[in-house]
Chains A and B, each alone.
Chain A
Amino acid sequence: MSAYCSRWTLRFLNRLCVSGLAKTNNKHVQHFSSQTSPSVQVCIVGSGPAGFYTAQHLLKSHKGIHVDIFEKLPVPFGLVRFGVAPDHPEVKNVINTFTQTAHLERCEFFGNVTIGSDITMEELKMAYHAVILCYGAEGSRSLGVPGEKLSGVYSAKDFVGWYNGLPANKDLNPDLSSDAVVILGQGNVALDVARILLSPVELLKKTDITQASLDSVAACKIKRVVIVGRRGPLQVACTIKELREMVNLPGTKPVLDRRDFEGIKDALKDIARPRKRLTELLMKVAMEEPSGRDAERWAAASREWSLRFLRSPIKILPTADGKKVAGIRFAVTTLEGSGENAKAVLTGQEEEVSCGLIVNSIGYKSLPIDDGVPFDETQGVIPNDMGRVCQTPGLYCSGWVKRGPTGVIATTMNDSFETARCVLEDIDSRVLDCSMAKPGHHALRGLLEKRGVTPVSFSGWEKIDALEVTRGDEIGKPREKLLDVQEMLQLARA
């Protein structure tokens, strides 16, 4: 190397060599000395699994990255806190991993900041080298049928938000006084709702379900939950663990019509294992006589749940005074095609079911965050290629807003790692220009102060966490969630 090479050239060449040599096993480990390279400032919008897993992968793979996570609510963790059912605490163990990530020096959490209103996307792009949208799906698909707005009809998202303590749903106050409930949709969320409505209170009261909803469920008179799908048994969207929980639910009995399963056995031969095992369980319940303990339990059961197939809602029927739901009218369908792509086609027949509560569980839906971000209204996602937002360099996405609102935490985890790998590739290949320093959150603090927004730090959340756990301890629960945003903010700042 010539003695006359400038220091800059030598540094640049050195960096090229180091990055080339250090790339092993897809781990983009680069060694920066603090004098030669600015850190890479990354902003993540949304602190659910998508946000945290994306952050985790970036921080683990690249020692020069600093990640700021912005969250609309004062509290982190998204659907892990507000979506996973209270009686599935093991699923929430991921919070421990997320907490470790939040505690890293190069990671900072900013709760109570709404991107799109408190801070604009433009301001984020100026402050960070890369912005990753992980804000999930806060809307829900509507049925598009008359009567949908009647009192007594709820989206599953709101219903789940209510029993999980989402502040926006704390006053939902659903009327649980009728004896029959219809749930539309047959995915895991539908089964969660059914299970929470029918679970023995002795089990629920030991979970982190909110006390107000526990009291409502304890007092309810629900005897029958009908879980309805437009297609057949081979298309149910739920998975076997949740179905088994329903079949084994104490104090209840499953009601499946064996006629729905005629001809299904032959279809089982060539299908993949997960669908096969799920269908076999359904068939066992529908067609076989229950054995020993099951037979006793079902005979003694005071409550029942059923799966109804090939029914598509066409109208929600009101009470005589026109104010509340009294029932629902279905069109009977038949299947065209088979397997996952079978379509439900109308037959012309109709059927009515009386009920006092309808929960619409046909899917969550993402909403656009800002006019500057492309959004596909039909699919309900941000258009992207492996997480790189189309036609918008420097912008990425992970999780439900990237691929649609289905899948479990593990699905989102893999998806988030994919987006993180793309960001890392783009840093390495200079598609993302990180040669100029960016200010990160330092540029935003002044703006937030001017706008009267006080962010909640992760240790602020930990104060909220500690109080919730203490309150829960007093009544034998893992935690009693705070429901009021103002209360959370006061506590976080104390």
Chain B
Amino acid sequence: SNRRRPALTAEPIPSSLDRAAVSCNALFRTAGTRLVGGKTRRDAPNTATPHKRAIRTPQSQIIINVVFVDRSGQRIPVKAKVGDNALHLAHKHGIDLEGACEASLACSTCHVYVSDAFYDKLPEPDEREEDMLDMAPLLQENSRLGCQVILTPELDGIELTLPKITRNFYVDGHKPASH
């Protein structure tokens, strides 16, 4: 079933190629090159003559703002480097996102909710992430695994909320009953 929701802004919805380009660029820290055809959606300065190469900050040094909302609702703003993943960022700042399997898509303990305005800016989760999200309690439409959220310049201002811990720990809200 399609979990994607329509973007809430008037911006054109980026194509998956654009998103792939952004995340590839972020991952491989290329500056100014296009890995895939089409525009890269980085914070390039507006140039009247696009063929002139402006001097750009290497991706790896771009700092963005991220806000974690912890399990008691407290907002914790932090600075993040492009290319970092949200789980490592949380650990750097003492936020209790467990990450039991150490970002290897073998658990759901880094489960976070992504703020509305940014959910669609993330590349779609691959099948393995979706499978692990199935195991997360309190799954919502805007759920992602923190270890798969790779920070890019267009995620500046993203808010990541940690699900509240509840008594129901079973996969999918299941309550075991004898049969």
Residues of A within 8 A of B (CB): 25-26, 88, 90-91, 93-94, 96-97, 230-231, 235, 239-241, 244, 272-278, 340-344, 386, 403-404, 406-411, 413-415, 417-418
Contacts and interface: CB of A to CB of B under 8 A. Distances in A.
A94 B98 CA distance: 10
Nearest to A241: B131
Given A94-B100, A407-B169, A408-B171, 15 more contacts: A26-B72, A93-B100, A239-B171, A241-B132, A244-B131, A272-B172, A273-B1, A274-B139, A275-B172, A340-B174, A342-B179, A343-B179, A410-B109, A411-B171, A415-B169
B169 A414 contact: yes
23 contacts: A90-B106, A93-B101, A93-B102, A94-B101, A96-B102, A235-B179, A239-B135, A273-B134, A274-B135, A277-B130, A277-B131, A277-B134, A278-B134, A340-B175, A340-B177, A406-B176, A410-B107, A410-B108, A414-B165, A414-B169, A417-B165, A418-B165, A418-B167
Nearest to B173: A272
A341 B130 CA distance: 25
Nearest to A94: B100
B108 A90 contact: no
A418 B165 CA distance: 9
Nearest to B98: A413
Contact of A410 (B102, B105, B135, B173): B135
B42 to A, nearest CB: 32
B100 A409 contact: yes
B71 interface: yes
Q: Is the interface of B mostly helix, strand, loop or mixed?
A: loop
B interface bracket (residues with beta carbon within 8 Å of A): 35 or more
Nearest to B71: A26
A375 B176 CA distance: 19
Contacts of B176: 404, 406
Given A93-B100, A241-B131, A276-B1, A413 B109 contact: yes
Contact of A25 (B70, B127, B172): B70
A274 B132 CA distance: 9
Interface string B109-146: 10000000000000000011011101111010000000
Nearest to B108: A410
B121 to A, nearest CB: 22
B46 interface: no
B74 interface: yes
Q: Is the interface of A mostly helix, strand, loop or mixed?
A: helix
Interface of B: 1, 70-72, 74, 98, 100-102, 104-109, 127-128, 130-132, 134-137, 139, 165, 167, 169-177, 179
A341 B179 contact: yes
A260 to B, nearest CB: 17
A90 B105 contact: yes
A91 B101 contact: yes
A274 B172 contact: yes
A386 B165 CA distance: 13
A407 B70 contact: no
A271 to B, nearest CB: 9
A414 B177 CA distance: 21
B115 to A, nearest CB: 21
Contact of B179 (A230, A273, A275, A410): A230
A240 B171 CA distance: 11
Nearest to B3: A273
Given A231-B179, A239-B171, A410-B135, A90 B74 contact: no
A417 B102 CA distance: 19
